Chains A and B, each alone.
Chain A
């Protein structure tokens, strides 16, 4: 769809597209305004005044820090597991054709294709059937399961673009399998893995539906927010936390975008 002759769009289309984008972004921008409001009892608009005191209040809240630490820990471990499993699977699926290949792709996608509540409740009932106590590790177990697909998608796309002849050339020049992996395969898929890992981290950091089923006493940041949403107690603190969460997830998304975009110029891609 690249036509240079149609330089400008019809006015109606421009309006609808701009309206749609505004609809997508205004609510998130509002969070930033609310984080600095002086009003602490209601969601009053326009804010009666602006203050930065809530940043300091939030900074000194131990429960927020605890939830943040749990979230980062869970997301880091889940991402690590997903990186290993997703890369192995992507390498196997893209490297060769074998019986059951389609089944394996389906198996990877299933945890994200079915509604999260199904993953959540089945894990919970499995834990209770096997008498596994809820802990940070049960949260990790759930998160890693649906993070695999993100890493897998990124890695598979890159493997498809990496020329097989590069690997064959490496073997022909006398490298063994591990050397080939270390010096040829890894540099080629590195940025794709980084991007996949970042998105997996963002996915896990933000997950709430599965987490409500697999967490016991542990609070991740989304669980903390959910409780505030259901029973608002400290609105100003929630506003600040919401703003911080937006800023924290912003970085990996933009980074992942640039990492995978430059993947087009991977060596051997043109062959």
Chain B
């Protein structure tokens, strides 16, 4: 196609004269060879992401096959699976299991809290309310992550608003009973797994609401009317028609909540127990310990878990709902 343009250009200059100047010549060149323009447009972003991002990612993955010399603390640059073996030590395995369980619980809780908001926004909010709902979900999503964590530090502290409210409602005993439980409990909410869990749910909640809302909005009204015409009660319509169609949205949202919880190290550091999560382990091993191979091996865990998760989510149709 580009050749014929070039040919006619030469044989019939009266029809298509070449443009003047460097810019004009360039413009003509791009018109004749669109592939060249495409190549030039793609070159900067692909180079940037390829070199800066993929390059460092592969360098990191490569280092996970190195190991650290136990006596000198130096990194031995030869291929070994020893570092991956260390991941299976009980203490490290504990960290992985704790993080994955937390990510699962956070995902389930976010879905439960997010669904009514998304459902109301998609089915009942109209006009001005619709815009308001959208902003009400977008603002917490985009406002500062650290400020949100900080707000919860204020809320969960011993002298904070939550304890004050519980005291007013004479429910302090209930909280104390909960905090006395093993695993979920602790000295106060801000140093317990329960606190970590609440903050995770809070911070990632908007990531769950938006895809659910998108999938709910895509359900045609005629489907629900058909269901009602066939004699289904509103409850039956919901569970047999609406809910299954909203599941891809839930799966899409869960990708975010799951992935973000897996990689986070700041929330458990600020609000939580002294037990580590994967992110904290990575941070500790690369920082003070200088054990880059083990830190690299630890980062492979979320990559593999997310890979498996994405594969399952794709089978549930989550990618059509993002």
Contacts and interface: CB of A to CB of B under 8 A. Distances in A.
Interface of A: 1-3, 6, 8-9, 13-14, 16-17, 20-21, 23-25, 27-28, 30-31, 34, 42-46, 81, 84-86, 88-89, 91-92, 95-96, 98, 104, 107-108, 110-111, 113-119, 121-126, 129, 141, 144-145, 148, 171, 176-178, 199, 202, 206, 208-209, 212, 222, 225-226, 229-230, 238, 242, 245-246, 249-250, 253-254, 257, 261
Given A115-B263, A202-B142, 5 more contacts: A1-B218, A88-B44, A115-B279, A148-B45, A242-B147
A96 B34 contact: yes
Given A43-B154, A115-B263, A257-B138, A206 B146 contact: yes
Contact of B150 (A1, A31, A117, A254): A31
Contact of A176 (B24, B113, B266): B24
A104 B147 CA distance: 34
A129 B264 CA distance: 25
A98 B38 contact: yes
Contacts of B49: 85, 107-108, 110-111, 145, 148
A177 B286 CA distance: 50
B299 A3 contact: no
A111 B142 contact: no
Among all A-B residue pairs, the 9 with the closest Cβ atoms:
A115-B263, A126-B56, A16-B116, A176-B27, A17-B120, A27-B151, A122-B60, A177-B27, A122-B56
A45 B303 CA distance: 42
Interface string B39-54: 0011011101110111
Interface of B: 19, 23-24, 26-28, 30-31, 34, 37-38, 41-42, 44-46, 48-50, 52-57, 59-60, 63, 113-114, 116-117, 119-124, 131, 134-140, 142-155, 157, 159-161, 164, 202, 205-206, 216-221, 224-225, 255, 259-260, 262-266, 269-270, 279, 282-283, 286, 292, 295-296, 299, 302-303, 306
Given A85-B48, A229-B153, A250 B143 contact: yes
A165 B63 CA distance: 51
- Residue picked from A89, A111, A121, most chain B C-beta under 10 Å: A121
A114 to B, nearest CB: 7
Contacts of B54: 107
Contacts of A23: 113, 202, 205
B282 A117 contact: yes
A9 B155 CA distance: 31
A9 B303 contact: no
Given A125-B296, A206-B146, A104 B42 contact: yes
A261 B135 CA distance: 12
A125 B286 contact: yes
A13 B42 CA distance: 48
Contact of B140 (A9, A28, A81, A144): A28
Given A104-B46, A245-B144, A114 B259 contact: yes
Contacts of B164: 45-46
A225 B27 contact: no
B270 to A, nearest CB: 5
A4 B119 CA distance: 15
10 contacts: A88-B42, A108-B49, A117-B265, A118-B303, A125-B63, A126-B60, A145-B49, A145-B53, A208-B266, A225-B147
A28 to B, nearest CB: 6
Nearest to B147: A242
- Residue picked from A8, A116, A171, A199, most chain B C-beta under 10 Å: A116
B259 A115 contact: yes
Contacts of A253: 135, 138-139, 142-143
A21 B151 contact: no
B262 A115 contact: yes
Contacts of B221: 1-3
A117 B263 contact: yes
Contact of B52 (A6, A84, A115, A145): A145
A132 B42 CA distance: 27
A236 to B, nearest CB: 12
Nearest to B269: A230
- Residue picked from B38, B137, B205, most chain A C-beta under 10 Å: B38
Contacts of B140: 24-25, 28
A17 B120 CA distance: 7
Contact of A129 (B37, B38, B59): B59
B302 A115 contact: yes
B266 to A, nearest CB: 7
A117 B138 contact: no
B259 A113 contact: yes
A163 to B, nearest CB: 18
Nearest to B49: A107
A84 B22 CA distance: 22
A27 B152 contact: yes
Contacts of A116: 263
Contacts of B116: 13, 16-17, 20
Contacts of A30: 151, 154-155, 161
Nearest to B157: A43
